[in-house]
Structure 1
Amino acid sequence: MSTPDQKQPDLLDLVRPDLRAFSGYKSARTEALRGDVWLNANESAWSNPADASATSRRYPDPQPAALKAALCGLYGCAPEELLIGRGSDEAIDLLVRTLCVAGRDAVVIAPPVFGMYAVSARLQDARLIEVPLVDGPGGFAPDLEAIAQAVLAQGAKVVFLCSPANPTGASIPLADIEALLQRLQGRALVVVDEAYGEFSQVPSALTLRARYPEVAVLRTLSKAHALAAARVGVVIADRRLVSVLRACQAPYPVPTPCAELAAAGLSPDALAATRARIATVIAERARLAAALAVLPGVRRVYASDANFLLVRFEDAQGAFDALLGAGIVVRDQRAAPQLGDALRITIGSPEQNARVLDALSAQAVAA
């Protein structure tokens, strides 16, 4: 417990000192001005001949209002708590650059995991602390006690947790994330990457925001919402942190066509179709996992809360080649730590999943 003369920890203490009052670049679209002749941004007075909508000559809204409203409704947060960016990748990079002083601060990850956390740390010259996942009877899981000890002993500023995890597929129980937040209050920002959250029954870490300002949640429209090419992702966090991140962000992160497509993709009809497709993926995930588990040459199929399965093979190269020979491209995970015999297989349509099983069955017979 702190004494009266001790300073209470504050979220902004985690931000780089030189950025806490940083105002960033003020673009022409930042000003709330009204008019019918726009001559403030050095844009063309004429549309490009290929621009059928005649709108692309104008710079986009830095945080498109219609899209932001739809996203806030989807995730249950206030506009000031959400920042739209170019996929989760931009949010990851912004968080590392905003919090970590180059050459001094550290980032904690739990490999095998999504590679952009390490890439962003390296680009910022932040020390990378790896606390490997533990492969147990229930699948891969983070060693949260070891993560807490690493933060406290080495002064890390950011912890990335992927839930459901890529490429291993397991979710982290919400109570375990909360326990880590309690341990690290005021010491580090815990970033929970929920890119595959729609496919999981585990409650979102978004429910923790009211009690823990040191949690940030990443979500994306690339997976369940089938808008990978639109490059729309968000970070949801304390409004003070979101304000700093926005100041550090590029002036126009979301192209107008992408924002319009994403907003349309979050309409009630589109969301209803998305929910139906998520249900299909979950059902197909269970069917494919059960079928793979009994195939000769399959060592293990990991339980998954995502839209993919991590599978160990006796002959991973042979399985990869057999699938590729059948026109099926999967993700080779053998270069990742602890995954020297593993492939990651995205859940496709029922017909595509049947082709996966046919190709692997034929390979097993030939072997």
Structure 2
Amino acid sequence: MNGFASNAPSAGVLELVRPDLRGFGGYKSARTEALRGDVWLNANESAWANPADADAVCRRYPEPQPAALRAALAELYGCTPEQLLIGRGSDEAIDLLVRVLCVPGRDAVVISTPVFGMYAVSARLQDAPLIDVPLRDTAQGFLPDLAALADAALAGAAKLVFLCSPTNPTGHACALDEIAGLAGRLAGRALLVVDEAYVEFSDVPSATALLARCPNLVVLRTLSKAHALAAARIGVAIAAPELIAVLRACQAPYPIPAPCAELALAGLAPAALAQTRQRVERIREERSRMHEALEGLPGVRRVYPSQGNYLLVRFDDADRAFATLLSTGVVVRDQRAAPQLGDALRISIGNPEQNERVLSALAVREAAA
């Protein structure tokens, strides 16, 4: 278990929730009532559909947690529906977790930069102290110091530790035994939140396999990346059912628009899933090809190994590389303001034609230099 052993007192996951929110019922909307009828006059909805709503999908409020979509997502992710909360992308789950767990000004959040910025944003909005245990830049890539993460969380009275795996923007994925060991160190003291937005592209399996033995584990998944449904804003938190119930009580009444739920459900049909798996494999192949090709370009200082659908690249002159790509219509993510990444760009893996445009633009730049 990577040298980890649990020495924290055991405690139910609800003991980590803010005391004032334990047992909180939240808002009871018209769709949460278990009522049956054929004339619905309880939610002040329009009796007529909007002229632009040809299928009359939108005149009524949607299901707060669409049952069919929840069942399909639970099957996809290997959990029960009771372990799963659907939200507006992973962003909503991150925000809910910070608000539900952290007493403002007291309970801390632990992150490892460089990393996805929403963890720090949500902590700031909740006035939760932020503890940063930076990633280590090694020959194997940017790696988290898991022992230091646990030590910092325990010493800093943290309630949440965010572990992005594969990490955005650096690309490393943690092994399951490492995640289980860290969760064990934090047991009874903090939740470990593993953000798996890119796990479909990874060789490492999902941490949902650990939920049965790690009650303080939360796994975040999304349809935005591998499933190509970013605009639908469908993300999930997977955790102990009692924690999911608290998160739902603190969520907005109608978080999932009906058209988005219908689109997501169609995107999880067998034929769509089969095509998604093929495209994921194509991205993985292109990732390997791009890694090798970028490494061979003059002016490229380092290409980091990645388990996501992107590559982090250091340049001798990142400003010029960014401007050159932009001048040819190619937009990449500028990482130079992020800690430890003053010379780096993150390049998403596109289709083969898009990837060739990246390589061609950078090659022309170096030839001109």
TM-score bin, normalised by smaller chain? over 0.9
The aligned counterpart of 1:43 is 45
Unaligned runs of 5+ in 1: none
Q: Distance in 2 between matches of 1:153 and 1:7?
A: 15
Using the TM superposition, give the Cα deviation of residue 69 of structure 1 relative to its aligned residue in structure 2, in angstroms: 1.1
1:17-56 to 2 correspondences below 5 Å: 17-56=19-58
The aligned counterpart of 1:61 is 63
Residue from 324, 327, 332 that aligns with 1:322: 324
1:336-355 to 2 correspondences below 5 Å: 336-355=338-357
The aligned counterpart of 1:312 is 314
1:113-192 to 2 correspondences below 5 Å: 113-192=115-194
Q: Deviations over 1:132-180 (max 9, x none)?
A: 0000000001111111111111110000000000000110111111111
1:65-80 to 2 correspondences below 5 Å: 65-80=67-82
The aligned counterpart of 2:298 is 296
Q: Distance in 2 between matches of 1:184 and 1:87?
A: 26
Q: SS state of the match for residue 224, structure 1?
A: coil
Moved more, 220-229 or 62-71: 62-71
C-alpha change, 1:32 and 1:291, in structure 2 (3 Å) is same
Using the TM superposition, give the Cα deviation of residue 7 of structure 1 relative to its aligned residue in structure 2, in angstroms: 7.8
Confirm or deny: 8 A CA contact 2:291 2:311 kept in the other structure: yes
Match for 2:365: what amino acid?
Q
The aligned counterpart of 2:212 is 210
C-alpha change, 1:8 and 1:112, in structure 2 (3 Å) is closer
Match for 1:218: what amino acid?
L
Q: SS state of the match for residue 285, structure 2?
A: helix
Match for 1:350: what amino acid?
P
Using the TM superposition, give the Cα deviation of residue 306 of structure 1 relative to its aligned residue in structure 2, in angstroms: 0.2
Using the TM superposition, give the Cα deviation of residue 8 of structure 1 relative to its aligned residue in structure 2, in angstroms: 4.3
Q: Distance in 2 between matches of 1:86 and 1:22?
A: 21
How many residues are aligned here? 364
Q: Identity over aligned residues, as a percent?
A: 71
Q: CA RMSD in A?
A: 1.3
Q: Distance in 1 between matches of 2:10 and 2:311?
A: 44
Q: Which runs of 4+ in 1 moved over 6 A?
A: none
TM norm structure 2: 0.97
Using the TM superposition, give the Cα deviation of residue 203 of structure 1 relative to its aligned residue in structure 2, in angstroms: 1.7
Q: SS state of the match for residue 287, structure 1?
A: helix
TM norm structure 1: 0.98
The aligned counterpart of 1:283 is 285
The aligned counterpart of 2:86 is 84
Match for 1:170: what amino acid?
H
Q: SS state of the match for residue 152, structure 1?
A: helix
Q: Distance in 1 between matches of 2:238 and 2:178?
A: 20
Q: Distance in 2 between matches of 1:289 and 1:8?
A: 45
1:225-236 to 2 correspondences below 5 Å: 225-236=227-238
Using the TM superposition, give the Cα deviation of residue 55 of structure 1 relative to its aligned residue in structure 2, in angstroms: 2.0
Q: Distance in 1 between matches of 2:155 and 2:305?
A: 33
Q: Distance in 1 between matches of 2:360 and 2:310?
A: 18
Q: Distance in 2 between matches of 1:30 and 1:9?
A: 31
Q: Distance in 2 between matches of 1:8 and 1:366?
A: 63
Match for 2:176: what amino acid?
L
Q: Deviations over 1:261-285 (max 9, x none)?
A: 0000000000000000000000000
Q: Distance in 2 between matches of 1:115 and 1:125?
A: 16
Unaligned runs of 5+ in 2: none
The aligned counterpart of 1:267 is 269
Q: Distance in 2 between matches of 1:121 and 1:182?
A: 23
Q: SS state of the match for residue 323, structure 2?
A: helix
Moved more, 111-120 or 147-156: 147-156
Confirm or deny: 8 A CA contact 2:57 2:259 kept in the other structure: no
The aligned counterpart of 2:225 is 223
Q: Distance in 1 between matches of 2:79 and 2:296?
A: 44
Using the TM superposition, give the Cα deviation of residue 37 of structure 1 relative to its aligned residue in structure 2, in angstroms: 0.4
